[in-house]
Amino acid sequence: MIALTLTEITEIVGGELHSTPTTLSASDTVSGLVDTDSRLIQPGDIFVAKPGEVTDGHNFVGTALAAGAALALTERVVDEDIAQIVVADVVVAIADLARAVVARVRAAGDLKVVGITGSNGKTTTKNMLNAILSAQAETVAPRASFNNHVGAPLTILRTTYDTRFLIIEMGASHVGDIARLVSIAKPDVGIVLKVGLAHAGEFGGVERTVLAKSEMVTELTPSDVAILNADDYRVMGMADKTVARVRTFAMDTDQATFGARGVESTRTGTDFVLHTESGAEYPVHLRILGEHHVYNALAALSAADALGIALEDAIAALGTLARAERWRMEVLGGRDDVTIINDAYNASPDSMAAAIRTLAQITPRDRRTVAVLGVMTELGEIAGDEYDRIALQLVRLNISQLVVVGQAARRLHITAINEGSWDGESVYCEEADAAFEYLSTAIRPGDTVLVKSSNSAGLRLLGDRLGEFFTC
């Protein structure tokens, strides 16, 4: 974070400073990182004592102090010998602090901010863009999937006066969530990847999801850039809701700013030809598996181009990215030519369908495909229909074997086995341990295995076990 005095921070967050002769005082400055996790605190950092559903951050102020924290943001005075700024709501306070920090950095230099949202692909696009921009200048990007009302401000607060690019991943559970993040970061470039069925149950329907995602572009200015997925009609409808300059990306179309042609997916990566509206073409190689990641690459390249990065440099940087993210289309295994694709960090109907298509596309015709699938959460009343749709896709693509894990996903198993035309096999396992015992003997040499579920199912750990089991 930029250096600020305790007086400045107190004024920004509207709090009350409590200090002692042995702690920092009002005129002292802090410039460390800001975090809600006491385990990540380093000397000079600021600890945010955020109350939670399971535990209360105020109980860990002492732990943060022992780790070297210089200041604590709290909602009540804690009996620890550390300077404390007491506020009504620490989450609101870090948002206010983030807003002030990014504004000061922007005023002092040439900071450019990119916001990314969408039902799928945010983290992968963030990682792709981070690979491109960090090769050019100091870049701040979220760790893991820090994209909510807490994670995004914490990311912004890592910005310093040396930061040239700031990437913010913006997720949402409700209408208004992205608008709040946009009001803090004020992106120069806003990317909307896709409006899908992820969290549709929580939002109350896909149209509410559209409204939430459109908040990315509605507050952009005429000098800003909105980057929209031209293959998603719901996203393209947002072009009429922004005054920003609109750039588009799409597959196999001449109507977009950036398009992809000749997409080829194998077990070693994904290749395509980038086609620009000027007619220029560039070969692109991704080490990341899956045709669906071409959309993320197009979005990242479009943003880089809008920021003045040469496409040749951006494409070269993309080629260095070994994986989308931990547990996202992560390739493991290798023994007996067995490929394990661990994509079990999250799952929506769209991302699960894309992963299954990739499984079918990258597997040679003479080899078997195995899909190990678990629950897709937050679908609400549409869950049953979406499980049926995924099951029929498995049948249509002739996936060699299906292994369904967990009661919440059992409908996948039932629908698949009820499809009489399918000559594959479906196996149901109540728990991941049972699935591992089955798969450790059922997987054959040369098989390609996809492990896919929402994070809560824990199948990412099953994927890791399988990857280790089949490691050379």
53: CB partners within 8 A, 6+ apart: none
How far apart, in whole angstroms, are the C-alpha atoms of residue 402 and residue 428? 8
**β-sheet bridge partners, residue 258:** 249, 276
The Cα 201–Cα 353 span in angstroms is: 18
Residue 156, judged by CB atoms within 10 A of its CB (0-12, 13-18, 19+), counts as buried
Has 123 been labeled as part of a binding site? yes
- Cα 80 to its chain centre, rounded Å, is 36
* d(C-alpha 267, C-alpha 41), whole Å: 40
Instruction: Give residues with Cβ within 8 angstroms of 352, minimum separation 6.
Output: 373, 376, 390, 452
Strand ranges, E, within 289-437: 330-333, 339-343, 369-373, 401-405, 425-429
406 appears as a binding residue in the annotation: no
| Pairwise CA distance, residues 323 & 198, whole Å | 22
* Contact assessment for residue 402 and residue 424, using Cβ atoms and an 8 Å cutoff: yes
Judged on CB neighbours under 10 Å (0-12, 13-18, 19+), 470 is buried
124 is in an annotated binding site: yes
Tokens linked to 244:
């920003």
Q: Is 176 left (phi over 0), alpha (psi -120 to 50) or beta?
A: left
Residue 119 marked as a ligand binder: yes
What is the C-alpha to C-alpha distance for residues 409 and 416, in angstroms, rounded to an integer?
Answer: 12
Check the annotation: does 7 bind a ligand: no
- 9 backbone dihedrals φ, ψ, rounded to 5°: -65, -45
CA distances from 274 to 161, 164, 263, 311, 435 (A): 34, 26, 10, 10, 41
Q: What is the dihedral of CA 453, 149, 223, 259, to 10 degrees?
A: 0
Instruction: Report whether 456 belongs to an annotated binding site.
Output: no
d(CA 331, CA 17): 50
121 labeled part of a ligand binding site: yes
Nearest to 286 by CA among 278, 276, 294: 294
Residue 461 dihedral angles phi and psi, to the nearest 5°: -75, -35
Three-class SS state of 86: strand
Three-state DSSP at 241 gives helix
Helix (H) or strand (E) holding 344: none
- Other Cβ atoms less than 10 A from the Cβ of 194: the count is 24
Structure tokens at 94: 């870090």
Decide the pairing of beta strands 189-192 and 29-30.
Answer: unpaired
Q: Which residues are annotated as a binding site?
A: 118-124
Q: Which residues are annotated as a binding site for ATP?
A: 118-124
